[in-house]
A = this chain, B = another copy of it.
Amino acid sequence: MSKITAQKKGLLERLKEGPVVGDGSMCMTLEKRGYCRAGPWTPEAVIAYPDAVKQLLREYLRAGADVLQTPCFYCSDGMLKKGTASGETVAYTTDAINEAACKIAHEVAAEGNALVCGGLSPVLSYLRERDSAKTRAEFDAQLDVFIKYKVDFVLAEFFAHVEELEICVDVMKKAKMPIACSMRIGPMGDSNGVSVEECAVRMAKTGADLIGINCLYDFDTCLKTLKRMRDALDKEGLKTPLMCQPLGWRCPEVEDKLIGYLDLPETPLALDPRTATRFEVHEFTRAAYNLGTRYIGGCCGMEPHHIRAIAQELAPERKRDPPVQDMCPPTGFMQFSGLSNIKEKASMDFWTNTKPGSGRPFNPASTQTEGGRFM
């Protein structure tokens, strides 16, 4: 493994060459496949069902991802216990899970020259106590495993408060690796009331190499937020490139909710009708790229065929097709269908101009929700 790592280009080199493609949904997709518990979302499958996890990572690699994140999201001692309150226990330690996640990510990444990214996420010490020292300690513990297992870069993601993110980035500096950071904010700004614009500027001023947003919101909401971030950065003369890993579900109606799609009645078990089509991903990818976004991947709900659409949309800029191209070019092999009405669909034009229906005349387009409370 070390030999391959030595040869492969790092995150900063890749960003110089063209847009970087991230990977996609982990826990939510494993849940549909039968390997994750909806609610706690603890990633013990890396130990209990490693082949299922590897297969999913392999699909992202094949779809064109440059990066595989270690599949251990939210796996800090605090979060692991919280998610399993009331007597439920996860059979494995935090360390055991994190280590298994690193090994799996490295193993699959090595099959395709991908980077391994170690992800840090918000901690209870900040959320519940606003205790700076404890917060640093929790991030430190998350970081150590990534240093030990030599990930290629680190990412602070899903932050609701820019203040907590600043602490996290500061801690991450000791790893001497490229640093990315990403907040889960929409047009309303962060959960302390800091505006999108101020979040962008403060994130850039941490010195991170990539800054952006992930999760919680619809493509269109993310584009609005990215635009405002870009404008705020430009105003300050800050050049940090943007990243975005949006939801794979359509949910424009929660743009004004601080917890985004977590406020939808359908979350998490009945989101299927909201699943993005690959052509909606093409459209988002192009628009995000045009706004200066240089790292595009997916968060919850973004599955292999969605990640593939990012890599295929950006193929001209990246000067290469994803590995999956042999079997799954953007419009498939419709030209070889025996059905004449299918044959006619062998063009992006057809798909770009088709608005998919929901198949549910008795259901609404949007759902009304009650104001949810986030912890």
Contacts and interface: CB of A to CB of B under 8 A. Distances in A.
A237 interface: no
Interface in A73-91: 82-86, 88
A368 interface: yes
Given A86-B336, A365-B365, A356 B37 contact: no
Contacts of A45: 327
A126 interface: no
A153 B88 CA distance: 42
Contact of A361 (B83, B264, B272, B364): B364
Give how many copies assemble into the complex: 4
A336 B368 contact: no
B368 A337 contact: no
Nearest to A38: B332
B360 A358 contact: yes
A270 B278 contact: yes
A62 to B, nearest CB: 5
Interface stretch (A141-149, A175-183, A206-214, A247-255): A247-255
Dominant secondary structure of chain A at its interface with chain B: loop
A36 B304 CA distance: 13
Contacts of A360: 250, 355-356, 358, 364-365
A273 B305 contact: no
A354 interface: yes
A272 B356 contact: yes
A277 interface: yes
Interface residues of A, number: 91
Given A269-B331, A269-B351, A373-B341, A274 B366 contact: no
A31 interface: yes
Nearest to A372: B341
B31 A359 contact: no
Contacts of A334: 38-39
A297 to B, nearest CB: 16
A234 interface: no
A263 interface: yes
Given A357-B363, A372-B339, A373-B339, A272 B263 contact: no
A271 B35 CA distance: 25
B362 A368 contact: yes
Contact of A357 (B37, B218, B273, B373): B273
Q: What 9 pairs between A and B have smallest CB-CB spacing?
A: A38-B332, A250-B359, A358-B358, A341-B372, A361-B361, A39-B333, A274-B359, A272-B275, A361-B366
22 contacts: A32-B304, A35-B327, A37-B336, A38-B333, A45-B327, A52-B58, A82-B338, A83-B338, A250-B359, A266-B356, A269-B278, A270-B351, A272-B275, A273-B273, A274-B357, A275-B275, A339-B373, A341-B372, A355-B367, A356-B360, A361-B361, A361-B366
Given A33-B305, A34-B324, A269-B331, 6 more contacts: A39-B346, A40-B337, A269-B345, A269-B351, A357-B364, A358-B364
